[in-house]
């Protein structure tokens, strides 16, 4: 069985007396297809941990395996390629491109990876996310919640084996938030996708298979 495995990972920012340990010897592993939530106070290191898992940040110590692939030995270029091909990321700040319209933003990962569009799948996710009437619109004309849903669609479009989502329902009302969780659940059962999601919502955490609670960069024992 493929696993996501985090082994004794540490990450600091700054140097000398400004050095801050943000992730402090974190280890955990989850089965492929698991739905994991990460909870913790603001500033506890959740985003940093997620960025290490997707290989955006280099770790200072420790190993991260996605299935049999160790991403922590890869150089930045390799990690970037691996990430594009295998991981769907929903950033806390969305990171959409304002010069492209909604549809172009969602389809961009396919272009990067020279992958074919599965039109049926695309139509389904944009409809489920309630952005099917917005596809030709400019990103800047959308509300925060709508932008968040575009970012989610973009993360899902390549049918990645791992989805890393940073508070993907943070700007959504309860109904939309429920829809998004539903969609993630459905994608996971259909494709066996592992989902790692940061949230502040205990109700969402309850629906996940594992909850990782983090404080000051350390995992709290349940």
Ligand X SMILES: Nc1ncnc2c1ncn2[C@@H]1O[C@H](COP(=O)(O)OP(=O)(O)OP(=O)(O)O)[C@@H](O)[C@H]1O
Q: Which residues bind ligand X (CB under 6 A)?
A: 13, 22, 40, 42-48, 92
Rounded to a whole number of angstroms, the minimum distance from the CB of residue 48 to ligand X is 3
By beta-carbon proximity to ligand X, the closer residue of 22 and 161 is 22
Site stretch for Mg ion (CB under 5 A), options 41-49, 64-72, 94-102, 156-164: 41-49
Task: Answer yes or no whether residue 37 interacts with Mg ion by CB under 5 A.
Answer: no
Task: Answer yes or no whether residue 48 interacts with Mg ion by CB under 5 A.
Answer: no
Task: Answer yes or no whether residue 47 interacts with Mg ion by CB under 5 A.
Answer: yes
Q: Which of Mg ion, ligand X, none binds 191 (CB below 5-8 Å, type-dependent)?
A: none
Residue showing the smallest CB distance to Mg ion in the complex: 47
Rounded to a whole number of angstroms, the minimum distance from the CB of residue 185 to ligand X is 23
Rounded to a whole number of angstroms, the minimum distance from the CB of residue 170 to ligand X is 9
Pairing of β 20-31 and β 162-166: unpaired
Calpha distance 98→199 (Å, rounded): 26
Q: Which of ligand X, Mg ion, none binds 193 (CB below 5-8 Å, type-dependent)?
A: none
By beta-carbon proximity to ligand X, the closer residue of 92 and 101 is 92
Calpha distance 101→129 (Å, rounded): 16
* Residues in Cβ contact with 218 at an 8 Å cutoff, skipping those fewer than 6 apart: 24, 25, 26
By beta-carbon proximity to ligand X, the closer residue of 126 and 205 is 205
Contact 7, 52 (CB under 8 A): no
Rounded to a whole number of angstroms, the minimum distance from the CB of residue 192 to ligand X is 27
Calpha distance 107→81 (Å, rounded): 17
Give me the count of residues in the chain: 222
Which helix (H) or strand (E) is 10 found in, with range?
strand 3-13
Q: Backbone phi, then psi, for 147, in 5-degree steps? A: -65, -40
């Amino acid at each position: 069985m493929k696993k996501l495995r985090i082994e004794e990972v540490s990450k600091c920012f700054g140097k000398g007396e400004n050095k801050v340990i943000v992730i402090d010897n974190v280890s955990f592993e989850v089965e492929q297809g698991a739905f994991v939530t990460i909870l913790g106070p603001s500033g506890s290191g959740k985003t940093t941990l997620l960025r290490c898992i997707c290989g955006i940040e280099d770790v200072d110590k420790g190993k991260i395996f996605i299935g049999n692939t160790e991403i922590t030995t890869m150089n930045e270029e390799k990690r970037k390629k691996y990430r594009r091909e295998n991981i769907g990321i929903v950033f806390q700040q969305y990171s959409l491109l304002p010069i492209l319209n909604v549809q172009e933003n969602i389809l961009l990962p396919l272009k990067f990876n020279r992958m074919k569009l599965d039109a049926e799948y695309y139509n389904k996710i944009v409809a489920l996310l309630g952005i099917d009437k917005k596809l030709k619109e400019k990103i800047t004309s959308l509300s925060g919640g709508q932008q968040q849903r575009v970012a989610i669609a973009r993360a899902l479009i390549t049918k990645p084996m791992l989805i890393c989502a940073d508070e993907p329902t943070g700007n959504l009302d309860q109904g939309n938030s429920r829809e998004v969780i539903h969609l993630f659940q459905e994608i996971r059962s259909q494709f066996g996708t592992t989902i790692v999601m940061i949230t502040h919502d205990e109700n969402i955490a309850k629906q996940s298979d594992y909850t990782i609670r983090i404080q000051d960069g350390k995992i709290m024992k349940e």
